[in-house]
Structure 1
Amino acid sequence: MNKILEVESLSVFYENNQAVKDISFQADKGRLIGIVGPNGAGKSTLIKAILGLEKAQGKVTVLGEKVNEVRKQISYVPQRNQIDWDFPVLVEDVVMMGRFTHIPWYKKAGKKDQEIVIESLEKVGMLDYRKRQIGELSGGQQQRVFIARALAQHAELFFLDEPFVGIDVTSEEIIINLLREMRDNGKTVFVVHHDLSKVEHYFDELLLINKELVEFGEVKAVYKPDILSKTYKGSITLFGQDENIMVVSE
């Protein structure tokens, strides 16, 4: 079975406002997928609904099972502004949180868990910071630590909500290269992303939404002015040697 995620008629309501409307799609294993749309389009809400963090209507299956039955196989990195960076916790302890789904409540973390934490920190270039307080780090370093936490979980399906916002160029390069490596190892990674100029270089597929699903498919098939104009409800212009996309009006 190559399908890892199936979403059927997923909808989310906030009082009288429908934040996500009747979204259906399927995703294969080993894909790096960008979730793109304007502010207020429901990108983050869609992720949370898939994860069961928002009350929703519809059906979601991961590896053919209900989400709660395969929770260990799903990892989530929220937006940085949703995290309390003043909480006194060490970098290595944050990454160890990724192991909690694998450790019975009556046991302590073992040697294998410690080794996985070290390996995960090495992959994001943060091993030397493992004894630092998380709040002492730069934005890019903090994001890399939370990517390490996701890696430590050894999941199959990953959701990252705007991981490139407010970080340095070095951290962004480290993270996107790591996401590509995860993809090449058969993992499926969804990334909420806002920089349209980089989607061709970063993703295999795009999921374009504006409360409703506008289009989902290979980047070359959906990264087009008419589809983007429909997504952003405005004019789109292709320009430059790399055909970067600029939203002229919304």
Structure 2
Amino acid sequence: MTNVIEVDSLSVYYENNQAIKDVSFQAEQGKLIGIVGPNGAGKSTLIKAILGLEKAHGKVTVLGDKVNQVRKQISYVPQRNQIDWDFPVLVEDVVMMGRFTHIPWYKKAGKLDQKIVVDSLNKVGMLDYRKRQIGELSGGQQQRVFIARALAQHADLFFLDEPFVGIDVTSEEIIINLLRELRDEGKTVFVVHHDLSKVEQYFDELLLINKELVEFGEVKSVYKPEILSKTYKGSITLFGSDENMMVVSE
């Protein structure tokens, strides 16, 4: 398999505090990867550092090149709390933003771009809401619209920061099914995630981080009590008949 990302000794400092330290890993094409760790572990910082949105030390190679050279091929969905939901913009306009990297500044969106927007909204079940203001939607609906924006970009690499937080069950099912489809098409998807009970169901691989990289590998290899205990620096309790169900006490 082809490595789509190579991260070498990546570190980020905020004044005198080190947010992430010497993180190194390689990720292959066509994987759905969960990024897991406690609050303040540097999960969001890691994504932003890879994307060049945070000043960082170290080396990052994305799709065989520097990130600025392949930005059109990368789609990023930030946490919902980082978005101004009061900004007066229509749902279809939000999704059209995913096409901007493909439209020259001197041209307007064409028929193909309009079709891609419609198709993307249809995939997330939000086509009937295309003329609604984004701020009028529920949390799950808003997240689906931003997933549609990511789909419209036709990227090869996707980063989603806590996409399942504060959304309804239907939206979560739609989103995870779409992410699986992207994976099956050969795309690589990174998802910052906090619900440990679903990692086996959702992901092919896990990247466990607590400022430093703890483990990175297939879920069956790293989703273990001793590794989670090291990641969360707490105790692990196994319960029920399924020994893969875990509770982490920080």
TM-score (norm. length: structure 2): 0.98
AA aligned to 2:246 is: I
Partner of 1:214: 214
- How big is the shift at 1:173? 0.3
* SS class of match (2:18): strand
Partner of 1:44: 44
AA aligned to 1:77 is: V
* SS class of match (1:65): coil
Once the two structures are superposed, residues 137-175 of structure 1 have per-residue CA deviations (whole angstroms, 9 ceiling, x without a partner) of 000000000000000000000000000000000000000
Once the two structures are superposed, residues 89-124 of structure 1 have per-residue CA deviations (whole angstroms, 9 ceiling, x without a partner) of 000000000000000000000000000000100110
Once the two structures are superposed, residues 165-213 of structure 1 have per-residue CA deviations (whole angstroms, 9 ceiling, x without a partner) of 0000000000001100100000000000000000000000000000000
What residue ranges of structure 1 are gaps of 5+ in the alignment? none
Stretch of structure 1 that moved more, 234-243 or 101-110: 234-243
Corresponding position: 1:72 with 2:72: yes
Residues in 2 aligned to 1:41 and 1:112: alpha-carbon distance in whole angstroms: 42
Partner of 1:185: 185
Residues in 2 aligned to 1:175 and 1:239: alpha-carbon distance in whole angstroms: 29
Once the two structures are superposed, the pairs formed by residues 26-37 of structure 1 within 5 Å of their partners are 26-37=26-37
Residues in 2 aligned to 1:245 and 1:139: alpha-carbon distance in whole angstroms: 28
AA aligned to 2:57 is: Q
> Percent identity of the aligned residues?
88
Equivalent residue pairs, number: 249
Once the two structures are superposed, the pairs formed by residues 150-169 of structure 1 within 5 Å of their partners are 150-169=150-169
- How big is the shift at 1:73? 0.5
Which stretches of structure 1, 4 residues or more, deviate above 6 A after TM superposition? Answer: none
Residues in 2 aligned to 1:182 and 1:16: alpha-carbon distance in whole angstroms: 39
Once the two structures are superposed, residues 207-235 of structure 1 have per-residue CA deviations (whole angstroms, 9 ceiling, x without a partner) of 00000000000000000000000000000
AA aligned to 1:221 is: S
* SS class of match (2:70): helix
Partner of 1:104: 104
- Cα RMSD after superposing both structures: 0.7
Residues in 2 aligned to 1:139 and 1:240: alpha-carbon distance in whole angstroms: 32
Residues in 2 aligned to 1:224 and 1:47: alpha-carbon distance in whole angstroms: 24
Residues in 1 aligned to 2:39 and 2:72: alpha-carbon distance in whole angstroms: 30
Residues in 1 aligned to 2:218 and 2:161: alpha-carbon distance in whole angstroms: 20
- How big is the shift at 1:62? 1.0
Partner of 1:82: 82
Residues in 2 aligned to 1:48 and 1:241: alpha-carbon distance in whole angstroms: 39
Stretch of structure 1 that moved more, 49-58 or 232-241: 232-241
Partner of 2:144: 144
* SS class of match (1:59): strand
- How big is the shift at 1:238? 2.1
Residues in 2 aligned to 1:3 and 1:67: alpha-carbon distance in whole angstroms: 14
Corresponding position: 1:245 with 2:246: yes
- How big is the shift at 1:63? 1.2
